[in-house]
Copies of this chain bind each other. A is one copy, B any other.
């Protein structure tokens, strides 16, 4: 499933020359109108684009969604809603295991800490950002100047419009845009099926196809205690998508690295991904051991295990992609062509010709300290919050432009919403995670590494974690709020063990952040920006920028593909669910929920259930609507197939597929299995 969101500095831009059919995650200011007109004889109108944009939402847990009624009903994936379901669950009410259905408005259940954004406007601020950075003496000065102007632009916009205002770097710094979002923080859970129905096939089937998952959930957005009006919503087309049909996906792809340089790809392949795989494997083992100790522990850890398995499978696929000779040869040939084009023009060569070398040097430098970025972790909710509290009180005193990334005025409100979340914290789980993470840190960096020495102060990870989590009061949101409100004085006076330890290592963390800014990020950012401009110069702007968890439009068709010697079908049906369950004896990941067992005879088993399209998506697109030409919803994106895992780096229309739940399948299940007549009436406008 696609949702694990990894933010990578967007320093890549795609060559128009190399565009595959249906490729691209396009910004709404530069939609692929011409390409769609040519290939599909369909015209994207401004009205269509606006309708789709206002119907689309970003869920800041790391996914996408869309409004499907005039009363704020928001459709997304079960696996995007999963975190909120987990946080709402208790030993008595396990909404992950059993699902949730609000039979009327009063039953709709507030999600603990979900922020939802709708993109209201966007504005090109490239000139202002680039002007501010002009003439800076060093890459780092340039970096700082840009950070400052961006903070200014965001703050001014927030003050003026009251809308969440983010400056987004596109085309590797070729452009900067101010995105303004309407922000909602009162999302209520309306419907979620049982996890086993949403995620039938479990980790084995994750990122694969054919699939049979009801990976859907419904929220309703409230403001001032009332459902919001959403005049722009996607009409529910219960016939759903047909084989060969032109369809669109409007959502928030998290990040891609399609035009990283070869040096960066090799660094990713040889250094970063192997580290990440080791780390994820270890985290997973820790949690599996924890889960095995009791049923309640298993419940507490289940969402994290889900997330780790998901990331592990995704990263393995990415690594395989980078280890594929054909992929790397293609990338290498692309880079050579681009380099030759730059070097063949004296003016371009002088301005941009050095960028590849600078990036290669920065990655080499990065490698000397890269492990610190992964193995200085206490891997716990409260440990993370302690670090944030200590940083927060120091940063907010400074002029906005001088602060650490994340602590600018325009960002504080969303961050605070998260930091003060009332979601439950499980101390046993916290101790298990922190112990496991520190044991891995020691294994990777050794017992004499200065940061770990300072952190642990001679204690074993287990003793340390027990002392920290046993002694802290940070699990109480009121305690966290008091510290934030009390500022540096309160934090300095705190004897909470987690705050004490976060204070102790704070200078070392700051040195680390600074070192990477100076030696890696600022270099890569400047060189990346040069490459972005070089691409404009060589190829023009007939292209899409790498994904940045901002709203994008992709287009494609419902279409099967060659798979393992045969053809994967465009669409699956309920029959296939019952086949796969029976094939595995209804055990484990292939267990049938009692509701599905009992309701089998009421279903039309030939109803389309899941389907695949050629749309170009990536993690973060989970929960995006699949939209037809009429602007109606015909499906719900929930995954990419295994062949798409290399999509972080390259798009191959032959086999790369978006996997979605079909609206016909959702309609049939809601009606016959979940008796969700209230919701069906609402989406069907009855």
Identify the A interface with B (CB < 8 A): 201, 204-205, 207-208, 210, 243, 313, 317, 560, 563-567, 569-573, 575-576, 578-580, 582-585, 590, 605-606, 641-642
**Bound Cα distance A207, B565 (Å):** 7
Known contacts: A208-B564, A564-B563. The answer to whether A583 contacts B579 by CB under 8 A is no
Interface SS of A by simple majority: mixed
How near does chain B come to A241, taking the closest CB pair, in angstroms?
A: 13
B208 near A566 with CB under 8 A, answer yes
How near does chain B come to A659, taking the closest CB pair, in angstroms?
A: 12
CB neighbours of A583 from chain B (8 A)? 210, 569-573, 576
CB neighbours of A560 from chain B (8 A)? 584
**Bound Cα distance A570, B565 (Å):** 18
State which of B563, B576, B642 has its C-beta within 8 Å of the C-beta of A579.
B576
CB neighbours of A313 from chain B (8 A)? 565
CB neighbours of A201 from chain B (8 A)? 566
CB neighbours of A579 from chain B (8 A)? 572-573, 575-576, 579
**Bound Cα distance A575, B576 (Å):** 6
CB neighbours of A571 from chain B (8 A)? 583
CB neighbours of A567 from chain B (8 A)? 204
CB neighbours of A204 from chain B (8 A)? 566-567
Known contacts: A243-B585, A575-B575, A585-B243. The answer to whether A569 contacts B580 by CB under 8 A is yes
Of all chain B residues, the one with the shortest Cβ separation from A607 is B582
**Bound Cα distance A565, B205 (Å):** 7
**Bound Cα distance A579, B210 (Å):** 10
Of all chain B residues, the one with the shortest Cβ separation from A587 is B243
How near does chain B come to A273, taking the closest CB pair, in angstroms?
A: 17
Q: Which 5 pairs of residues, A with B, have the shortest CB-CB distance?
A: A565-B642, A569-B583, A576-B579, A575-B579, A208-B566
CB neighbours of A243 from chain B (8 A)? 585
B605 near A578 with CB under 8 A, answer yes
Known contacts: A575-B576, A575-B578. The answer to whether A584 contacts B569 by CB under 8 A is yes
A564 near B642 with CB under 8 A, answer yes
Provide a sorted-by-A list of 10 A–B residue pairs whose CB atoms are within 8 angstroms: A201-B566, A208-B564, A317-B565, A565-B641, A571-B583, A573-B578, A573-B579, A576-B580, A578-B606, A582-B606
CB neighbours of A570 from chain B (8 A)? 583-584
How near does chain B come to A329, taking the closest CB pair, in angstroms?
A: 15
**Bound Cα distance A226, B292 (Å):** 66
**Bound Cα distance A204, B582 (Å):** 24
A582 near B575 with CB under 8 A, answer yes
**Bound Cα distance A560, B587 (Å):** 14
**Bound Cα distance A564, B565 (Å):** 10
